[in-house]
Amino acid sequence: MLYIERWKLIVIAIICALGFVYAAPNVLLNRTDGDSASNLPFYVPYRTVNLGLDLRGGSYLLLEVQTDVVVRERVASLTDVVRTSLRESRVRRRNLKIDGQGVSFELLDPSRVDEVRQQLRDEDPTLQVDTTPEGLVRLSLQDEDLLELRRSAVNQSIEILRRRIDETGTREPIIQRQGDERIIVQLPGVDNPQRMKELIGQTAKLTFHMADTTTSPAEARQGALPAGSIILPAQDDRRPNEAAEYLVRKRIIVGGESLVDAQPNFQNGQPVVSFRFDTVGAQKFGRATQQNVGKPLAIVLDGKVISAPVIRDAILGGNGIISGTFSTQEVQDLSLLLRAGALPAPLTVLEERSVGPGLGADSIAAGKFASMIGLALVVVFMIACYGLFGVFSVAALVMNLVLILAGLSILQATLTLPGIAGIVLTIGMAVDANVLIFERIREELRNGRTPVTAIDSGYRSAMRTIIDSNLTTLIAAIVLFSLGAGPVKGFAVTLAIGLITSMFTAVFVTRALVIVWLRRTRPKALPI
């Protein structure tokens, strides 16, 4: 006997009502990005569908992480390992140099080669140490360590990019890995792509050094470069009285990794950056400033000196400022970069595209038109073929679209142009289950079954086919989402949500409508 419990009807009604509630903000709000949601009461859902780059306009960047730089820095650090280890054991060596993806040196006493090999392995078990009886020693990184180093650099770059972009207030950015060393960045609604590119592309590696005042940069370039010092250019060339380059000590007093905060501020009416170190960084900075009162401190950003103030007093609180001829925007950008952290390696822009909002609006209009045409054709077909039952399926189809919109809003999924194609495809697929059920009901009626028995048997018999067909398509959508990227993911998301909602509306909503109609009219023949 065809029967559905009252509590099931209540659950179906609640789900449908929630679908309308969560889909409504997309229609009620003036903008689809949800900026006007603040005008709604706190108890009203305000999440709307996020629009992708191709619908909203914005910038697309394909970046490549220069992981070779990370490898070179790691290899260069091996020289410090050698110096420290051999100094402690009082082993004399010569010709310490970088050799490919490793370092090599010669022992003055070849008889100690086994001792040195074991000592270096104990120092860092991940290193590969090769020696010769003549006293030649070579340290290199293993292949799996190099691979992990490159992979970690890309993952860290993605995290830092996400922090930088979130700090700008950009909504719903897409940042994802492509291949081994490439990153895709999509910034919907960005109206200043050049500034975003500068923020994204800057490494922002901040270090603090003591300036070397024993000689001038000009004399150092002529051959009088002191040991342990380097010549760095000045970042700001807008001050005619400022030096164009500085002589600074190589030793880093404290690095930007010790920063816990950086905020734009004003000092004497000029924009500056206020920063604060963590406990360890504050101790190092305080000790260095206490020992070097009256000497200039070089603040270096990406290999350029951005400021070289003279230390007036010891700075023991872990707070300081970075001053210069900065504009307000430059101070805000620098603060943002320092808060987000430095990139582990430089980024190279391989591809750059900009999508205007007008093109996105045209895509939305075309998607709406295609959806309405598809919906209209399906409505005409279903009503013409199945009469009143076709009307039930149309009602379920409309409910299906409402639930798709609600699902996208709740999950905060990004709707792209391929996603609209997925919705249009779902319109056709949504009535497929109803067609299977109705055709099975017709077969049962031709076999002489009563209307109630025919409807009950039709739903029972078609259930397995409906589940199998939708499940296989859902598996394909999951694979597309897992292996695809960008627009492919958008298509997979809408397809998966559409499959789930179409099964619900076809199996439960139409069945509930048919049962309610059947109980009230008790027909002797079905209009199908």
Please list the pLDDT of the chain residue by residue as tens digits (528 residues).
Answer: 456 778 888 899 999 999 998 888 887 765 444 444 555 555 567 778 877 777 777 888 899 999 988 888 888 888 878 888 888 888 888 888 888 788 888 888 888 888 888 888 887 787 888 888 888 888 888 888 888 889 999 998 999 988 888 887 776 688 888 888 899 888 887 767 777 788 888 888 889 999 998 888 888 888 778 888 899 998 765 444 456 888 999 889 998 888 888 899 888 888 888 989 988 889 999 999 999 999 999 999 888 898 888 888 888 888 888 887 788 888 888 888 888 888 888 898 888 887 776 666 777 787 778 778 888 888 898 899 888 988 998 898 899 999 999 998 888 877 878 888 888 888 777 788 888 888 888 888 888 888 888 888 888 888 888 888 888 888 988 988 887 766 787 788 888 998 899 888 888 888 888 888 888 888 888 887
Specify whether the CB–CB gap between 113 and 135 falls below 8 A: yes
Question: How far apart, in whole angstroms, are the C-alpha atoms of residue 2 and residue 526?
Answer: 15
Strand partners, 127: 141
pLDDT of 64 reads: 93
User: Minimal CA–CA distance to 276: which of 191, 338, 193?
Assistant: 338
- Kindly tell me the burial class for residue 248, based on how many C-beta atoms sit within 10 Å of its own C-beta (0-12, 13-18, 19 or more): buried
What CATH number is attached to the domain comprising 127?
3.30.70
Residue 414 domain-assigned (yes or no): yes
- Whether 512 is in a domain gets the answer yes
What CATH number is given to the structural domain containing 246?
Answer: 3.30.1360.200
Domain shared by 511 and 444, yes or no: yes
Residues 342 and 361 in one domain: no
Cβ 503 vs Cβ 428: under 8 Å: no
Q: How many CB atoms lie within 10 A of CB 40?
A: 14
Domain boundary among 81, 109, 140: 140
Q: What is the CATH number of the domain that holds 40?
A: 1.20.1640.10
Calpha distance 314→51 (Å, rounded): 52
The answer on 152 and 292 residing in a single domain is: yes
pLDDT at residue 360, rounded to an integer: 66
Q: Quick count: other Cβ atoms within 10 Å of Cβ 96?
A: 16
Q: What whole-number distance in Å separates Cα of residue 19 and Cα of residue 289?
A: 62
Same domain, 338 and 238: yes
**pLDDT at position 243:** 62
Q: Which of 163, 165, 166, 185 shows the shortest CA–CA distance to 175?
A: 185
Flag whether 527 is in a domain: no
Per the CB < 8 A criterion, the answer to whether 475 and 399 are in contact is no
Asked whether residue 122 falls in the same domain as residue 213, the answer is no
> Which structural domain range is residue 81 located in?
68-140
- The Cα 207–Cα 300 span in angstroms is 5
Can you tell me the distance from the alpha carbon of 70 to that of 345, in angstroms, rounded to the nearest whole number? 6
Q: Is residue 274 situated within a structural domain?
A: yes
Print burial letters for 120-158: b (CB count within 10 Å at least 16), e (below 16): beeeeeebebebeeebebebbbeeebbeebbeebbebbb
Instruction: Burial-class residue 24 by CB neighbours within 10 Å (0-12, 13-18, 19+).
Output: middle
Residue with tokens 């449908």: 16
Considering the domain architecture, whether residues 221 and 175 belong to the same structural domain is answered as: yes
Do 419 and 501 lie in a common domain? yes
Contact 362, 384 (CB under 8 A): no
Q: Is 526 domain-assigned?
A: no
Query: In this structure, are 113 and 248 located in the same domain?
Result: no
Counted domains in the chain: 3
Domain final position from 140, 171, 197: 140
Query: What is the model's pLDDT at position 210?
Result: 92
On whether both 168 and 260 belong to a single domain, the answer is: yes
pTM for the whole thing? 0.66
Q: Is the dihedral of CA 283, 285, 286, 290 positive or negative?
A: positive
Q: Which tens digit of pLDDT belongs to each residue from 251-303?
A: 899 988 888 888 998 888 888 889 899 888 899 999 999 999 999 999 998 88
Among the three residues 109, 140, 171, which one is the final residue of a domain in this structure? 140
Distance CA 395, CA 257 (A): 59
Considering the domain architecture, whether residues 292 and 321 belong to the same structural domain is answered as yes
Inside any domain, residue 528: no
1 in any annotated domain:
no
- Is residue 491 within 8 Å of residue 421, measured between CB atoms? yes
Residues 268 and 292 in one domain: yes
The verdict on 209 and 78 lying in the same domain is no
- What is the per-residue DSSP string for 65-82? E-HHHHHHHHHHHHHHHH
Residue 472 resides in a domain: yes
